[in-house]
Every structure is written in structure tokens, then in C-alpha cells.
Amino acid sequence: MKVTEHLQNARSTLFSIEILPPLKGKDIQSIFNSIDPLMEFKPPFIDVTYHREEYVYKKRDGGYLEKISIKKRPGTVGICAAIIHRYKTDAVPHIICGGFTREETENALIDLNFLGIDNVLLLRGDAIKTEPGFIPEDGGHHYAIDLVKQVVNLNKGTYLDEDLMGVSPTDFCIGIAGYPEKHFEAPNLKSDMNYLKSKIDAGAEYVVTQMFFDNQKYFDYVNRCREMYINIPIIPGLKVLTTMKQATLLPKTFHIDIPEDLLTEIEKCKTDQEVKDVGVEWCIQQSKELVKFGVPCLHYYTMGSSEVTRRVASAIF
Ligand SMILES: Cc1cc2nc3c(=O)[nH]c(=O)nc-3n(C[C@H](O)[C@H](O)[C@H](O)COP(=O)(O)OP(=O)(O)OC[C@H]3O[C@@H](n4cnc5c(N)ncnc54)[C@H](O)[C@@H]3O)c2cc1C
């Protein structure tokens, strides 16, 4: 079933999660171990992130440096298939522009279609760490909107090879990303939201937001979206802050603010366990307020830690 159908059919706020593929060499059991404790909250869909290659330089005999491409977390498509098979729930693979030509993207979408996966979250992806900014693959897409257009075309039965005869259209439900605190490259929120609107005009059906710790940011964002006649569901993305280090790491990585009140509470903590307790309580309060606001679904970034998500979900669902 499509994410939008789950949202339409829901009688109350839904619970959903995003998981990361395990590190290369790790077993799929590690994924199951993190999903199993959350299944009692009946997520109708589970997102699986996609991680592109990174480059490392390894010193070889003679002192020269060899540039090596590594993919730390492969397996998004396989994990989605395994989730559907094991839990009989829907899986939402993330598809990114970075690292793919249009043909490779089409082939990945064809594979997903064969597997009966009819949901995708379409993203640009970040720049490779060693590159100054996002560089698209030769023959690949530059922005998420280009990916949206490609999937919309496939849904109409328009493949890249125009000479294909008797083709079947795909039927993907398209999700995209939104940033209540602005995408870090956008000159201002208005410009970022104009591009969000373009993605929706091109065919995106729902938005999942970047994590935020101040609900007011989400409320303002939704209001601004509605003023711009963006009327599709905007699913809030939430993360539990679990360590002291994250108070500086999350703003740096995701370009979001940690509210003063939360920081004050964290600074009083003497151990990471205490920080975790503060983070869980904060997320519970955020979730309760968002449910009251009438959000269609609460989407939790588990980042490999189901224990804290479970504590939050137990208080809400
Ligand atoms: C819910 C969610 C899930 C994510 N999952 C993943 C994942 O699995 N893997 C991963 O690698 N990353 C993931 N990301 C991170 C995401 O890929 C990055 O934030 C990336 O930098 C932007 O992606 P986007 O799809 O928002 O890009 P876009 O919508 O393409 O926007 C990128 C930037 O360009 C601007 N822009 C957009 N269109 C145009 C245009 N036509 N002309 C000029 N400027 C434009 C926007 O304002 C923005 O600043 C996720 C983010 C979110 C919020």
C-alpha cells in the first residue's frame, strides 16, 4: 500500500520509523533486532536510507596514496524486500541523485517495481565529504525535482528508451524532504520553500521533514506551506537526543537548532544516561504536542537505537 493511502485511511496519528542499513559486513539480523521491538506500535511503513560511496586514501608500498571508493552501508533495496517479507509492512527506500546516472536510477526503480515496492522517498543526497559541494554524476540528476520528474514519467510509462514498446507504467508513491529550519544551502527559507513547491507541482505526494527539536518551527513551516497552497501531508521527523555530544553534532550535521530549554536541561546532566532520559522526555512532549496539532504520522529517526524510540512510542501509541 502507498504511504498516502496509509495516511488517508488512518483513524489516529500513525507511527513510522527510518532505519539505516547496517555497516558493510554486518548481518541483516542487526536490522531485525532494531525493528522487532518497535513492531508492536504497528508502523505501516518503514523508511530505509540510502548511503552513497565515500572516498578514502590508503597508503600503499612506496608511500603512494591510493584513492578507494567504499560504500559503508550498502543494501537499501535488499533490506526493503526483507522488511516487506518479514513484517508484512510497507518499506520506503530512499533514492538519491548522487552517484547515479539516469539509466542506473531507472534500473533501480525497475527492480523496486519488480519487488512490489511502490513507495520511494526522493532526495538529492549530500555532497561527498571530500568534495566542496554536491556534484551530480555525469548523466545524473542535479536536484531532487529531476528525480521526481523521472519517477512521474515512469508512472506514465515513459522510460528513458523512447523506442520501448508495450511497456507497463510503474505506480510509485513519491515522498520528498522538507526543512522547517531551511536547507543549509538555500539563501533563505522562502527560496527553499519555492523549490519545495516545485517538487510538489512536479508530482511529489507527501513531505517528510528534517528532524527538529522545537515544534514551533514545524508549526510555522506547515502554516507557511498552507499559505503557499501546499496541501499535501507534511510528516514531522523526530529524533531523540541521546548523548551530550549530539547537542553540538546534530546542529553541525543537520543544520538545526537545539532549543535553549533543552540545552539547559542537558547541561545539568552528569552522565549520558541522564542525557538520554532528558532526550526521551523531550521527544515525548514534542510528540504529544504534535499529535494534538493533528499530524498524520510521527516519523522517528531511529539511527540504530530502537530502545529510545520504543520508550517514546510506549508513551504515545
Ligand atoms: C527526511 C529526509 C531523509 C533523508 N534521507 C537521506 C538518505 O537516505 N540518503 C542521503 O544521502 N541523504 C538523505 N537526506 C539528506 C538530503 O539528501 C540532503 O539534505 C540534501 O542536501 C538535500 O536533499 P533534497 O532532496 O532536499 O534536495 P533538493 O530538493 O534538490 O534541494 C537541495 C538544495 O537545492 C535547492 N534547490 C532545489 N531545487 C533547485 C533548483 N531547481 N535550482 C536551484 N536550487 C534548487 C534547495 O533549496 C536546497 O537548498 C535526507 C533528508 C531528509 C530531510
pLDDT for the residue 67? 85
Q: Which residues are CB-contacts of 249 (< 8 A; sequence separation ≥ 6)?
A: none
Q: Do residues 155 and 167 make contact, with C-beta atoms less than 8 angstroms apart?
A: no
pTM: 0.97
pLDDT for the residue 45? 98
pLDDT for the residue 205? 98
- Residues 284 and 258: their CA atoms lie apart, in Å, by 16
- Residues 191 and 185: their CA atoms lie apart, in Å, by 10
Binding site membership of 185 for ligand 1 (Cβ less than 6 Å): yes
Binding site membership of 175 for ligand 1 (Cβ less than 6 Å): no
Helix (H) or strand (E) holding 220: helix 215-227
Q: Which residues are CB-contacts of 47 (< 8 A; sequence separation ≥ 6)?
A: 16, 17, 18, 19, 91, 92, 93, 94, 121, 208, 299
Q: What angle do CA 177, 310, 180 make, to 5 degrees?
A: 25
Q: What angle do CA 231, 233, 235 make, to 5 degrees?
A: 140
Binding site membership of 123 for ligand 1 (Cβ less than 6 Å): yes
Q: Do residues 288 and 317 make contact, with C-beta atoms less than 8 angstroms apart?
A: no
CA 179 to ligand 1 centroid distance, Å? 9
Residue nearest to atom 44 of ligand 1 (CA): 195
pLDDT for the residue 170? 98
Residue nearest to atom 23 of ligand 1 (CA): 124
Binding site membership of 317 for ligand 1 (Cβ less than 6 Å): no
Q: Which of 123, 197, 235 to mutate to test the pocket of ligand 1 (most atoms within 8 A of CB)?
A: 123
User: Which atom of ligand 1 approaches the CA of 237 most closely?
Assistant: 1
Half-sphere exposure for 1 (CA within 13 Å, toward CB):
14
Amino acid at 72: K
Q: Which of 129, 151, 183, 255 to mutate to test the pocket of ligand 1 (most atoms within 8 A of CB)?
A: 183
Binding site membership of 195 for ligand 1 (Cβ less than 6 Å): yes
Q: Which of 195, 200, 228 to mutate to test the pocket of ligand 1 (most atoms within 8 A of CB)?
A: 195
CA 177 to ligand 1 centroid distance, Å? 6
pLDDT for the residue 185? 97
pLDDT for the residue 217? 98
Binding site membership of 49 for ligand 1 (Cβ less than 6 Å): yes
CA 242 to ligand 1 centroid distance, Å? 25
How far, in Å, are 70, 126, 191 from residue 133 at the CA level? 19, 8, 19
CA 185 to ligand 1 centroid distance, Å? 9
pLDDT for the residue 131? 86
Binding site membership of 237 for ligand 1 (Cβ less than 6 Å): yes
pLDDT for the residue 129? 83
Residue nearest to atom 15 of ligand 1 (CA): 125
pLDDT in tens, the chain (317 residues): 999 999 999 999 999 999 999 999 999 999 999 999 999 999 999 999 999 988 888 888 888 888 888 888 989 999 999 999 999 999 999 999 999 999 999 999 999 999 999 999 999 999 988 888 999 999 999 999 999 999 999 999 999 998 999 999 999 999 999 999 999 999 999 999 999 999 999 999 999 999 999 999 999 999 999 999 999 999 999 999 999 999 999 999 999 999 999 999 999 999 999 999 999 999 999 999 999 999 999 999 998 789 999 999 999 99
Taking alpha carbons only, the member of 231, 233, 236 closest to residue 291 is 236
User: Which atom of ligand 1 approaches the CA of 186 most closely?
Assistant: 49
Taking alpha carbons only, the member of 99, 171, 179 closest to residue 134 is 99
User: Rounded to the nearest 5°, which phi and psi values hold at 246?
Assistant: -65, -20
How far, in Å, are 102, 137, 197, 258 from residue 8 at the CA level? 32, 37, 21, 32
